[in-house]
Chains A and B, each alone.
Chain A
């Protein structure tokens, strides 16, 4: 039910209009094209997809940075468009590039103070205490060493910790993390993921984790949504999806991910031909059909597949499961 979920998204569309010379309508880039999902209280879900599939647009629409073209987003049962500034304090955003996300001329204290000032949060002493609390929580300790530093004085991992601290400083209920670890080194990556997981568990946060790296997902979230060409093609728990991927795209994606195994160097991988379609002019029917080896002539290239539920809790948009 909509009022039980923290975030309920129904038939969400976000189209960007393309104009020639600024006024002649050319077409729409359908970055998000009919997406439904729920995020429950305290649940971490992952959106996985290739670049250009619309996952960042989806993130920004959830954040309220874009107005949806069609469809609705309900946060705690209320329509997002009516919530205004209050909603901004309920949702934290963790950006991909920590250095780009931190203002270079503000020190750590100022960066963390800023959201509280904007939202008129607490008194001066409460704010000071809160800054210490979050810095300790993201393990930028001893706090004294960090509080006066500027972003360029921090390492990549520390910068990302600061971004996480900023995202939780107002005690949000939902975090949107857009590729939070893709810019970091492998060894730091694990550290940040574990930190994020700790924060999520400690405050019972809902998290939308957006990534292209499937191998980190199992360490983080319970459910996973696979996005291809602006649509969600498969939704399942992480374990179920890795054990039993149903959509041909998910299968190809999982097959393409290597585990560190010296045998890999002697094998060739089977990869679907072609590239993801342009979102300006997506193919009719199922958007994966031009690359799909299980294509059913006359069906997959004609009609868009509805969502099926072959096993309970495992949804897939593919005609193979009709």
Chain B
């Protein structure tokens, strides 16, 4: 199947007073249509920067932005910023940013806010747009009469649903969800995950889910990507990752996840992730890795394991 998104050697570096931050450093992956890929990793590993690099939402201090991004076979890196904004953003890829539910405009009714992408990206009359909003609200499970409410009149869960409705309103093919449920309660979280699953099936959407909450991510994930210090260290089917992680970092990460039903000894990863300003040469996880050996001083290759997973580790070379 033709991948909906193909990323090749994507790099995003930022310029800071202390040096160049290599937030996304040579990331390549493919995403088949109608799947859901989860990106996990510690904070500061570059997961959100990867999302921004795909959406070309670049801050002013961008130093390097290179690589190739193919969307439906089209090389979107060739597009100018204006073309990209008009043709790609929200039309093909939409984005639910981190803590987006807290960035709703407090003085505009949520119905009008959700309709806004329609006015920017299409010629809609006000009435048509509001009809679409009502439809979108029904899809995500917000009571229809909430269109006339202001954000402060909604609970956290409802605001999060509103933000998801905003991402869906232009019928995109790919939705990037950055920590969509991290600030919510367990029951609300389960509820929203149910809605996201149903929406994906009904509308043949593709998701990229960015999170550090591994337990919750399993609710949605079909594919999994583990990032460490700006690079992919493990990429493959979610089933393989949750049951038998291969990269030492993935293994440690899974061992640190508290489980409710299973009795297991929790572990933590000693040390801290390396600074992205001057990342160590060789394997970036080596200083914290329990299974390092002499070869780890060289940059590990991306190895394809027998079940189709890609692992960046010398152990599997």
Contacts and interface: CB of A to CB of B under 8 A. Distances in A.
A256 B198 contact: no
Interface in A154-208: 155, 185-191, 193-194
Interface of B: 36, 42-43, 155-157, 185-191, 193-194, 197-198, 212-222, 237-239, 241-243, 252-254, 256-262, 266-269, 272
Chain A CB count within 10 A is highest, among B42, B213, B258, for B258
Contacts of B198: 268
Given A187-B252, A187-B256, A214-B260, 7 more contacts: A185-B212, A254-B260, A256-B187, A262-B238, A262-B242, A264-B218, A265-B219
A271 B191 contact: yes
A194 B198 CA distance: 38
A262 B221 contact: yes
A50 B185 contact: yes
A215 B190 contact: no
A257 B221 contact: no
Interface string A239-274: 000100000000011111111111011001101100
Return the 7 tightest CB-CB contacts between A and B, nearest first. A262-B239, A256-B190, A50-B185, A191-B268, A190-B268, A215-B258, A187-B269
Which of A190, A212, A260, A264 has most chain B Cβ within 10 Å? A260
A216 interface: yes
A260 B215 contact: yes
A16 interface: no
Interface of A: 50-51, 155, 185-191, 193-194, 212-216, 218-219, 242, 252-262, 264-265, 268-269, 271-272, 275
B268 A187 contact: yes
A188 B288 CA distance: 14
B186 A253 contact: yes
Given A215-B215, A262-B242, A262-B243, A186 B157 contact: no
B258 A242 contact: no
A209 to B, nearest CB: 14
A39 B260 CA distance: 24
Nearest to B213: A186
A163 B262 CA distance: 31
Given A256-B189, A260-B214, A219 B256 contact: no
Contacts, number: 119
B3 to A, nearest CB: 20
B36 A265 contact: yes
Contact of A219 (B185, B212, B217, B266): B266
Nearest to A261: B218
B217 to A, nearest CB: 8
B194 to A, nearest CB: 5
A195 to B, nearest CB: 10
Nearest to B219: A264
Nearest to B258: A215
B284 to A, nearest CB: 15
B258 A268 contact: no
Contacts of B156: 51
Nearest to A157: B272
B257 A260 contact: yes
Nearest to A191: B268
Contacts of A219: 258, 266
Contact of B267 (A185, A190, A218, A268): A190
A260 B259 contact: yes
A194 B186 contact: no
A257 B218 contact: no
Given A51-B185, A259-B215, A265-B36, A271 B190 contact: yes
A212 B213 contact: no
7 contacts: A51-B156, A194-B266, A219-B258, A252-B187, A253-B186, A262-B241, A265-B197
A186 B188 CA distance: 21
Nearest to B38: A265
Nearest to A253: B186
B158 to A, nearest CB: 8
B218 A190 contact: no
B222 to A, nearest CB: 6
Count chain A CB atoms within 10 A of each CB in B212, B254, B268 and give the residue with the most.
Answer: B268
Contacts of B237: 262
Given A185-B212, A187-B269, A214-B260, A256 B36 contact: no
A212 B213 CA distance: 14
A272 B252 CA distance: 34
Contacts of B220: 265
Contact of B256 (A186, A212, A253, A254): A186
Nearest to B260: A215
B268 to A, nearest CB: 4
Contact of A258 (B36, B215, B239, B254): B215
